Structure 1
């Protein structure tokens, strides 16, 4: 398959990658909205101008109701962005479609489970294992990309 069509919906594997990337990016965006919701609900703001304009008490970054959601969102940013970037390069290595689809699905599932474990909260090592699973998939794809592109 020509490289230009590998990164298009003409390539069924790209379509699957785009779908699962959309799922985890959408979940990351949802975490941002949930952080804002927590801040507005409890009137907990980090910046003085937000406190003044939105009616909080005093600036703080230590409220656990806000920080738990914010940390989960931060973890998404740290893991979803590398997955999407590396996965884009991984598609161009022309991987086995069954295997690649499994990697994309398990990554998306691991990120959703990570959020559930964080928000409920479910005792460790559940959150750690779900995060490690997604990280391992991204690392595996990164190695495949490096190997395919080495000079």
Structure 2
């Protein structure tokens, strides 16, 4: 069986998990834009105050931090700090040839942790809740990295 084909169930797990995470990180950017437009505030840069179709009546107060918008930005930034490592390590993990069970637990565990982290951040849960979910996702990627090293150094 070839490693990077649909006949490899581990690769299929990676494909699903990776696609979900790419949709997640791209979607979060759109959520931020939606929130900015909804409240008419939380713009990021001075040039955003130029009049246009979206912002017909710019006001310097639009550049002030708006927690509703900034919370979405923080979620997005957190995704950008975590999901790329998963995407890279997940592919190497597939090549290393783990069992389907291990791949499912680690990859879907990461996806679940990221989605729950976003829910926790959106609903303003405590830092301890968010940190726990971050830790679960982080440990999944670390476990994949250790597995890859173990296999690579064993050859």
TM-score (normalised: structure 1):
0.90
Q: How many Å apart are 1:51 and its aligned residue? A: 1.6
Match of 1:146 in 2: 149
Asked if 2 retains the 8 angstrom alpha-carbon contact of 1:110 and 1:131, the reply is: yes
Matched, 1:34 2:31: yes
Listed as ranges, the gaps of 5+ residues in structure 1 are: none
How many angstroms does 1:61 deviate by? 5.7
Query: Which residue in 2 is equivalent to 1:43?
Result: 40
Aligned pairs for 1:48-67 (under 5 A) are 48-53=46-51, 54=55, 55-58=57-60, 60=63, 62-67=65-70
Q: Distance in 2 between matches of 1:105 and 1:148?
A: 21
Task: Give the root-mean-square deviation of aligned CA atoms.
Answer: 1.6
- 5+ long unaligned stretches in structure 2: none
Between the aligned partners of 2:37 and 2:48, the Cα distance in structure 1 is: 10
SS state at 1:125 partner: helix
Q: Does 1:16 align with 2:36?
A: no
Aligned-partner Cα distance in 2 for 1:56–1:82: 38
Q: 1:11 to 1:42 in 2, by over 3 A?
A: same
1:120 has 2:129 as partner: no
**Runs of 4+ residues deviating >3 angstroms:** none
**Count of residues paired in the alignment:** 148
Cα deviation digits, residues 51-110 of structure 1 (max 9, x gap): 213243226362211111000011111111100110000011111111111111111110
Does the CA contact (< 8 Å) of 2:10 and 2:98 recur in 1?
no
TM-score (norm 2): 0.88
